A and B are shown apart, each in its own frame.
Chain A
């Protein structure tokens, strides 16, 4: 009884958040104001963090909020302001009509192919039960099984940092 009620609540939460995310994503790629696009992106990222909570992946949800909403959006806003982008509405942000049509066709074909593949592959597969994967298990896995990839990612981040400084530096 309790589990069934919880399932209904989870489903309602999923669909509400998913609708919000899809609406926000469409706004990100169509809106005429760059700052608004960055702020709609916050909606999508926050919704994604909520979906991670629904999937019982709490550490990833927190990381999503910290890294995406905290760091990447701020970086985007800095990028918008440092390139002196038009602050109001602008018609210069999109490609022409033909390119938009091509983009719609590519997106729609991709959606149909992906949708068919997913429907064909997973149909009505249910989650058995949502169990919380604890942060301790995640960190144990990172620092034992995936230690080498973790170090490679660290070096990559260092390389990206130095590369970004070299690129953006005035000489």
Chain B
């Protein structure tokens, strides 16, 4: 198998995730797109680990999975706070930083 098969799959999923982050307005759906991005990176790490016969790829993929779990926990807590304070989770409504 070519290594580029896996790398292209990761790149396509990454781009779809970037589209989701930019095009979605709902906070939970933006978090889902971010998960897509984080997960697409893992396949690159595993593929390179296999290519170089190095176990470090898998170790770093595990770290990314742990970070992703922490990120989604805090992110959903923030979305819950948004909902509680504003009764909506549209991230376009969060524009207090705009001058």
Contact = CB atoms under 8 A, between A and B. Distances in A.
Interface of A: 7, 10-11, 14, 18, 21-22, 25-26, 28-29, 34, 37-38, 41, 44-45, 48, 51-52, 54-57, 59-60, 63-64, 67-68, 71-72, 75-76, 78-80, 82-85, 92-95, 99-100, 102-104, 106-108, 110-111, 114-115, 118-119, 122-128, 130-131, 133, 137-138, 141-142, 145-146, 149-150, 153, 156-157, 159-161, 163-165, 167-168
Contact of B25 (A28, A95, A128): A95
Contact of A28 (B26, B32, B53): B32
Range of interface residues on chain B? 35 or more
Given A29-B19, A29-B33, A100-B23, A63 B65 contact: yes
Q: Which 9 A-B pairs have the closest CB atoms?
A: A29-B20, A160-B70, A103-B22, A167-B77, A107-B19, A103-B23, A114-B11, A164-B77, A111-B15
Interface of B: 1-9, 11-20, 22-29, 31-33, 35-36, 39, 42-43, 46-47, 49-51, 53, 55-59, 61-63, 65-74, 76-81, 83, 89-90, 92
